[in-house]
Amino acid sequence: MKNEPERISRVVPEHIVYWHDCNPDEYPGGPFTTDPKDFLFVVAGMDEAEQRVAADPFVQEKLLKNIKEALEKMKKLSSIWITVCCFLLFAHTALAENGLTRISPHVYSYIGVQEASPANSFGANAGIIIGKKGIVVVDTLISAKEANRFLQDIRKISDKPILYVIDTHYHLDHSFGNSEFSKLGAAIVAHKYCADEMHLKAADGLANAADFGLTPEEMAGTEIAYPDITFTDRIGLNPGGVEVNLIYIAPSHSKGSILIQVPSEKVVFTGDILFTDFHPYMGDGDIKGWQQALDFLATLEADKIIPGHGPLSSKKDVADMKSYITTFDNKARELTSKPDANLEEIVNEMKKVLPIKTQGEWLIGANIQAKYLKKNLKKKTKKKNDYSIEKP
């Protein structure tokens, strides 16, 4: 079973924080060894001195011996214990599904969150890149409460300092948790336009959080923390042994949306430039620039693409996204150009040309309103839990 080593590591925590069954080449410079089964183990959260110790063949041999002994002991467990362990392993697996998923040796992320709602940041895929010196956080979720949930999940993986927060764009589900990381000393990095958009709109968005279906309890303690470092084209961050590139192509999902590339691991965080199996929010979208950004994304060497919302993605999902926004834009222009355009009928017509997605269907109407009918949404009375103007 592919995930077994990782599960087993959870019942021998005194030795190893996690295992993974990948090629040692995927963890350049890191502390590793292989056993006859080609398993690689990594001791997470070590500083450089500890890494030197761990790299010592004698130490590695001892660790492996301990692990093998632990596995032998497990084999000898009574059937009752095996039942108990199976239950615990199942519980851990269920927990892992709600926490951060290992994407590559240095990258973890929330991914494929189901039942998106305001309370779970509309299922936004925030993540981390762990270097030798510290951690880079990509997006901070929708509130102080959600940011603290994220921090707790980060601390299950690494105790290293959080050096930087990257905001992929200004929308609340990606940046309203910023302050919780600022308090820990992290510098917030974003595109200049993202910073401009936050200064212009974030305070208003926070004051009107109820419009997005968020309760005062869910938003308790949330403060806006603005970017400390901005850039216009590209900027690189290096938290130690792993490069992180922040790339701006054009106005796309929002004016200041960016891509985050981890080239050594062929991983890209796209923010909301890519939604997979989830209807995208398009209210701030620039279709031409968005197509350019997706074209660029398709040229990057990337095996694992983390969308803003939805499951781990591939180049096919990038092509599908371009097709979606192109189809949406063409059809929405056609339908809303008619003088007697009615939102409900337009949405019904849109559904006939758009692909079926598991989540976010309400966004079809929200996009039509925000981008094509240009209604003043704030003056509309909102029902509780009406998510029609949210911004995933």
Binding residues (CB under 5 A) for Zn ion: these are 124, 173, 272, 308, 392
Query: Considering beta carbons, is residue 118 or 308 the nearer one to Zn ion?
Result: 308
As measured in angstroms, the least distance from the Cβ of 50 to Zn ion is 37
Query: Considering beta carbons, is residue 272 or 277 the nearer one to Zn ion?
Result: 272
Distance CA 186, CA 164 (A): 5
Distance CA 165, CA 182 (A): 8
Give the Cβ contact number of residue 73 at 10 Å.
10
Query: Considering beta carbons, is residue 126 or 130 the nearer one to Zn ion?
Result: 126
Query: Considering beta carbons, is residue 272 or 317 the nearer one to Zn ion?
Result: 272
Query: Considering beta carbons, is residue 284 or 329 the nearer one to Zn ion?
Result: 284
Distance CA 16, CA 3 (A): 15
As measured in angstroms, the least distance from the Cβ of 282 to Zn ion is 12
Position closest to Zn ion via CB: 392
As measured in angstroms, the least distance from the Cβ of 171 to Zn ion is 5
Distance CA 282, CA 181 (A): 28
As measured in angstroms, the least distance from the Cβ of 173 to Zn ion is 4
As measured in angstroms, the least distance from the Cβ of 149 to Zn ion is 17
Where helices occur in the chain by DSSP H, the ranges are: 4-9, 48-55, 57-75, 79-98, 144-155, 172-175, 178-182, 192-207, 216-219, 287-299, 315-336, 343-353, 363-367
Distance CA 89, CA 303 (A): 29
Query: Considering beta carbons, is residue 153 or 173 the nearer one to Zn ion?
Result: 173
Name the phi and psi angles at 285, rounded to 5.
-75, 145
As measured in angstroms, the least distance from the Cβ of 73 to Zn ion is 46
User: Contact 259/231 with Cβ under 8 angstroms?
Assistant: no
Question: Which residues are CB-contacts of 333 (< 8 A; sequence separation ≥ 6)?
Answer: 372
Could you tell me which of 147, 133, 148, 132 has the C-alpha nearest to residue 55? 132
As measured in angstroms, the least distance from the Cβ of 309 to Zn ion is 6
Query: Considering beta carbons, is residue 308 or 310 the nearer one to Zn ion?
Result: 308
Distance CA 191, CA 257 (A): 7
Query: Considering beta carbons, is residue 5 or 360 the nearer one to Zn ion?
Result: 360
In angstroms, how far is CA 372 from the centroid of its own chain?
29
3-state SS assignment for residue 384: coil
As measured in angstroms, the least distance from the Cβ of 174 to Zn ion is 5
User: Contact 16/43 with Cβ under 8 angstroms?
Assistant: yes
Query: Considering beta carbons, is residue 164 or 212 the nearer one to Zn ion?
Result: 212
As measured in angstroms, the least distance from the Cβ of 280 to Zn ion is 9
Distance CA 29, CA 55 (A): 10
User: Which run of H or E residues covers position 305?
Assistant: strand 304-306
